[in-house]
Amino acid sequence: MLASKLYSPTLREIPSDAEIASHQYMLKAGMIRKNGNGLYSFLPLGRRVELKIEAIVREEMDKTGAQEIMMPIVQPAEIWHESGRWDAYGPEMFKLTDRHDNKYCLGPTHEELITTLVRNELRSYKQLPLTLWQMQNKYRDEIRPRLGLMRSREFVMKDGYSFDADEAGLHQNYQIMYDAYTRVFTRCGLQFKQVEADSGQIGGSHTHEFMALAGAGEAEVVSCSQCDYAADIEKATPAPIEMAAETPGNVELIETPHCATIADLAEFLQIPVEKTIKAVAFNIDGKKTVLCMVRGDHEVNDVAVQNFVGGNAIEPATEEELKAHGLQPGYMSPMDADTPDNETFFVLVDPTAMNVPNGVTGANKLGYHYKNVNAKRDFKNVTVTTIRNMTEGDCCPKCGAPVNIMRGIEVGQVFELGTKYSESLQATFLDQDGKAKPFYMGCYGIGVTRTMAAIIEQYHDEHGIMWPVAVAPYKIAVLPLNMKDEEMASVATDLYETFLAQTPDVVLDDRKERAGVKFNDADLIGYPVQVVVGKDTKTNGTVEVKVRRTGVKEIVPKEQAVARVQ
């Protein structure tokens, strides 16, 4: 490729809404352009990178025996009604209506489509296992599209779906995809972790996310400092709270007449409320109660918590109510303090968490709370099922060592779906025993365009991108310092052609620009190897080979340049 012909309009100024390196550099280097909120065009350099990632994914999928297909982006509403997800999916789904008033969506994912695609035609256990996959644009009307390709509304996803006769087969397929994804992200050069995750609204049970570790990540990863435990913060559960300490308490019953929410209460009591953590439900002598903890750096925004505080001392929560709020029942014995014989407690604990006095609980008496509650001391026989998010230094649930909290970018996820979709969509096969059975399904997604952003987040400096060779738009840039010098230009062109005979991944910067401009652009775009052709090339036949990532420069005879950049 000749740089003079390359369509990569570079920017001098970074648009003000680009907050993170990947977004900034892709815009600045002319790799992508924004066409609307969360909608991007890929210009030639960006498209090349995207295609390289696709190629890696395709090679690794081929190795597993999974077969590539292509399904429509526009999906009929009926199949989503059948699975029950037309409404459940929520406002993230782009919905549309055709001229005959038929309803459709733009596929945010394809579980429904693939399941109805194979039902009636994938009939026998003899055809199993089967894994089908595609590389396609996905559409999600994200509430907050942001950070460029990290969270866009149209993005490229590789999505795959496996069909098995039984659970053991599904486990096997899951492992095959898990391993393939590990190879994909390794080949992309990413530092990443496979973490245990919540399955969310897609359903299913067993699932891992692949998290590229980067400060710009929107997700949080809990990672043990000693063992291999790693989980999404949404999934990670701290070790249960220790038993009560045998220290005397100074629990105080105080009147709090006008407090409907945690925020009200905190203001009234003049205690800091910095974080609402997942509420915890306990079971006190067969009756349910909720323990809310407030700590750290979040807003008080948990509707469930607020509702329950609002309902303080009025009605103990039922199990259904707890579940409706995503809370899990657990067990807790009553407080040592002068507890009225009602059952509902609400606890506000100040920033440093459970074992610090100064917490506040509901008192099961309308308009009253307890102050100076130390949950560890004042609550006995506590068994916690769902609790706050883990924080730095908490004990690993597996080995007890302190955990670290890191930021991560979810670049992929694998799920064991089980029979959720095959049952709701009635996709069955005939098993060896002649009986019709629902498929055991798995689904597997890679955010291809998000992966591109994640790579830049990990590989950049103040000058621009430092692509790993495997995904670089071009591997080598030949940079003649002065194209007006005919001899220099001809040496550079010869060298370029020699490279070109070996690889298509080479650019000749044949623009009549100053050397400084060429160096800056080459660093910004992030070609892994730069070969500088200058005066020395003319006088003694040497070129300078610079490795972008390390900055290491080497002077070599131009005949050796090709061998040197292999």
Closest contact distance (angstroms) between CB of 177 and ligand ATP is: 13
- In this chain, which of 281, 411, 455, 545 binds ligand ATP, going by CB under 6 A? 411
3-state secondary structure (DSSP) of residue 517 = helix
Rg (C-alpha) for the chain, rounded Å, is 29
For the chain, percent helix, then strand, then coil, each to nearest 5?
A: 30, 30, 40
> Of these partners, ligand ATP, Mg ion, none, which one is at the site of residue 412 (CB under 5 to 8 Å by kind)?
ligand ATP
DSSP-derived secondary structure letter, 439: P
**Angle of the 303-310 helix axis to the 262-269 helix axis, nearest 10:** 70
- In the complex with Mg ion, the residue whose CB is nearer, 199 or 237, is 199
- The pair of structure tokens assigned to 124 is 């026998």
Integer Cα distance of 51 and 54 in angstroms: 5
Integer Cα distance of 469 and 2 in angstroms: 19
Alpha-carbon 79 to chain mean position? 27
Integer Cα distance of 530 and 509 in angstroms: 10
Distances (CA, A) of 420 to 167, 214, 444: 13, 34, 15
User: Residue 445: which H helix or E strand, with range?
Assistant: strand 440-447
Piece of the chain touching ligand ATP by CB under 6 A; list 40-48, 178-186, 443-451, 523-531: 443-451
- In this chain, which of 306, 413, 428, 451 binds Mg ion, going by CB under 5 A? 413
Q: x/- binding map, residues 368-407, to Mg ion, per CB under 5 A?
A: ----------------------------------------
**Three-state secondary structure of 388-438:** CCCCCCCECCCCCCEEEEEEEEEEEEEEEEECHHHHHCCCEEECCCCCEEE
- In the complex with ligand ATP, the residue whose CB is nearer, 201 or 247, is 201
- In the complex with Mg ion, the residue whose CB is nearer, 343 or 410, is 410
> Of these partners, ligand ATP, Mg ion, none, which one is at the site of residue 411 (CB under 5 to 8 Å by kind)?
ligand ATP
Query: Should residue 422 be labelled a site residue for Mg ion when binding is judged by CB under 5 A?
Result: no
Find, among 46, 49, 53, 20, the residue nearest to 186 by Cα: 53
Question: For the chain, first and last CA: distance in Å?
Answer: 19
- In the complex with Mg ion, the residue whose CB is nearer, 199 or 498, is 199
User: Residue 139: which H helix or E strand, with range?
Assistant: strand 130-139
Piece of the chain touching ligand ATP by CB under 6 A; list 54-62, 242-250, 442-450, 525-533: 442-450
Q: x/- binding map, residues 25-54, to Mg ion, per CB under 5 A?
A: ------------------------------
- In the complex with ligand ATP, the residue whose CB is nearer, 80 or 155, is 155
Query: Should residue 412 be labelled a site residue for ligand ATP when binding is judged by CB under 6 A?
Result: yes
Integer Cα distance of 384 and 374 in angstroms: 16
Kind of pairing between the strands at 103-106 and 39-42: unpaired
Closest contact distance (angstroms) between CB of 220 and ligand ATP is: 11
Hey, which residues between 91 and 130 contact ligand ATP (CB under 6 A)? 109
Hey, which residues between 280 and 319 contact Mg ion (CB under 5 A)? none
Piece of the chain touching ligand ATP by CB under 6 A; list 167-175, 248-256, 404-412, 480-488: 404-412
Closest contact distance (angstroms) between CB of 447 and ligand ATP is: 2
Query: Should residue 155 be labelled a site residue for ligand ATP when binding is judged by CB under 6 A?
Result: yes
> Of these partners, ligand ATP, Mg ion, none, which one is at the site of residue 279 (CB under 5 to 8 Å by kind)?
none
Asked if residue 521 lies in contact with residue 528, where contact means CB atoms within 8 angstroms, the answer is no
Query: Should residue 22 be labelled a site residue for ligand ATP when binding is judged by CB under 6 A?
Result: no
Alpha-carbon 527 to chain mean position? 27
Closest contact distance (angstroms) between CB of 200 and Mg ion is: 6
Piece of the chain touching ligand ATP by CB under 6 A; list 118-126, 177-185, 419-427, 447-455: 447-455
- The pair of structure tokens assigned to 457 is 């987040």
Query: Should residue 109 be labelled a site residue for Mg ion when binding is judged by CB under 5 A?
Result: no
Residues that bind Mg ion (CB under 5 A): 410, 413
Which parts of this chain interact with ligand ATP (CB under 6 A)? 109, 140, 142, 151-152, 155, 157, 410-413, 445, 447, 449-450
